[in-house]
Homo-oligomer: A and B are copies of this chain.
Amino acid sequence: MNKFNFFNPTQIVFGRDRFDELDSLVPKDAKVLLTYGGQSAKKYGTVDRVLSALKDRVVIEFGGIEANPKFETLVKATEVVKKEGVTFLLAVGGGSVMDGTKFIALASKVSEDKFEGLLFNGFTPAPQDEALPLGCIATLPATGSEMNAGAVITYKNQKYPVMSPLTFPKFSFLDSDLTKTLPQEQVANGVADAFIHVMEQYLTYPSNAKIQDRFAEGILQTLIEDGPITYNDYENVEARENFIWSATMALNGIIGVGVPQDWSTHMIGHELTSMYGIAHGRTLAIVFPSMLRERKVQKKEKLLQYASRVWGINEGSEEERIELVIQKTEEFFNSLGIVTKLSHYDIKQDELDTVVSNMEKMGLTALSETGDLGLSEVKSILEQAY
């Protein structure tokens, strides 16, 4: 395996009905900005329960953080933080709310002229030494944002990664009851998102990192087993908890240390979300199988390992096993009600060139674990995914 650093100081509070413990985790004298998304956090009473658990702390609510959170919205929240002297951020929601709150945490400690610059560092940590502390009450298992230091922010209709070790949540509550109000479609998206997160750290080329490989395979197997159960049976708490913990483990760093990574599916998927508003997890399920077919030579050894260890596919030629496991992967997404072809959406085939040229404008011209996936391969992937 390669050299690596691993650091993840987020405290996880896992299990049902533990909001009372917020009182010991949020500083007593904190002035809290409580961030959330649309109506569900309010409607289902989560916001009220959090307010009650925060006792007599001063709390300012900031709702309306949208899916694929927008820079402009987060700037407004940051203005509230600065005006009101907020000292602690508490995010109640899914990946978008948690990601957006991380941006607020960083922006709150710099002047307004630096806000845009926070978006343009790529995967380099934000160049500042201080951020507001934040905690999370996670309501959607998917992005892993509850236990990592990354965020994705939408600016002028493009998605930008924002990173900083200062934005690890101090704590995250993972309570399966909070996820029971999610529509089935969002459960499916979460399973797909977590699944692809694992794959992007696993399905590259062999580096003899056995712990990372086996942990990745264990998460995949668990998602394959308990993702569909959670999707179909809202009363199965055990499966739901396994799914939640899988999604967190998928992107908290533990399977990604010391191994090559290939985030090309995410990069292409982000563009599809930006252009067509297709939900993030669904774009990944569209791109990923075609990406595997495009890259089956470069990824041959790990594809065969994936086929054998995760799906028990050991018969047939290498070519047959690889095609079969890609089909199995597609069928898995389909079983969650996720279509894996672009043609199912209102997209014309001749628009694929625009997707490619937008990626070129973003500088995304050398993707994959070795940087050898260029725009012509992106075009080919999109055509296969049509």
Which A residues are within 8 Å of any B CB, using their own CB? 1-16, 18, 208-211, 213-215, 217-219, 221-222, 225-226, 238, 241-242, 245-246, 249, 254, 257-258
What are the residues of chain B within 8 A of A222 when measuring CB–CB? 210-211, 214
Whether the pair B5, A238 counts as a contact (CB closer than 8 A) is: no
Contact status B3-A18, CB under 8 Å: yes
Q: Which residues on B sit within 8 Å (CB–CB) of A246?
A: 210-211
The interface centre, meaning the residue of A1, A249, A254 with most chain B CB atoms within 10 A of its CB, is: A1
The 9 closest A-B pairs by CB, nearest first: A214-B218, A3-B15, A9-B9, A7-B11, A6-B12, A210-B222, A208-B238, A210-B242, A4-B14
Contacts of A225 in B (CB 8 A): 210
Are A254 and B254 CB-contacts (below 8 A) given A12-B5, A221-B214, A222-B210? yes
One of B10, B18, B215, B258 near A218 (C-beta < 8 A): B215
CB neighbours (8 Å) of A10 from chain B are 7
Greatest chain B CB density within 10 A among A9, A209, A218, A226 is at A218
Q: Is the CB of B210 within 8 A of A226?
A: yes
Is the CB–CB distance between A11 and B15 below 8 Å?
A: no
Q: Which residues of B contact A217 (CB under 8 A)?
A: 214, 218
Instruction: Say whether chain A's binding surface is mostly helix, strand, loop, or mixed.
Output: mixed
Nearest Cβ distance between residue A13 and chain B, in whole angstroms? 6
Interface contact B245-A211, CB-CB below 8 Å: yes
Q: Chain B contacts of A219 at CB under 8 A?
A: 211, 214
What are 16 contact pairs spanning A and B, CB under 8 A?
A: A1-B241, A3-B14, A4-B12, A4-B14, A4-B15, A5-B11, A5-B13, A6-B11, A6-B14, A7-B11, A8-B9, A209-B242, A210-B226, A211-B242, A214-B217, A214-B222
Q: Which of B14, B211, B241 contacts A5 (CB 8 A)?
A: B14
Do A258 and B14 have beta carbons less than 8 Å apart?
yes
Question: What CA separation (Å) do A258 and B11 show in the bound complex?
Answer: 14
Whole-angstrom CA separation of A222 from B213 in the bound complex: 10
Tell me, rounded to whole Å, the shortest Cβ–Cβ distance linking A261 to chain B. 16
Cβ-defined contact, A218 with B226, below 8 A: no
Residue in B closest to A241 when the chains form the complex, CB atoms: B1
- Taking A5-B11, A211-B222 as known contacts, 19 extra A-B pairs with beta carbons closer than 8 A to each other, sorted by chain A number, are A2-B15, A3-B15, A5-B12, A5-B13, A7-B9, A9-B9, A14-B257, A208-B242, A210-B226, A210-B242, A210-B246, A211-B242, A211-B246, A211-B249, A213-B218, A214-B217, A214-B221, A214-B222, A215-B215
In the complex, what residue of chain B is closest to A239 when comparing beta carbons? B208
Complex Cα gap A242–B1 (Å): 8
A238:B11 contact, CB within 8 angstroms: no
Which residues of the partner chain B approach A16 to less than 8 Å between Cβ atoms? 3
CA distance A161 to B222 in the complex (A): 34
The distance from the CB of A185 to the nearest CB of chain B, in whole angstroms, is 24
Q: Give chain B residues whose Cβ lies under 8 Å from the Cβ of A13.
A: 5
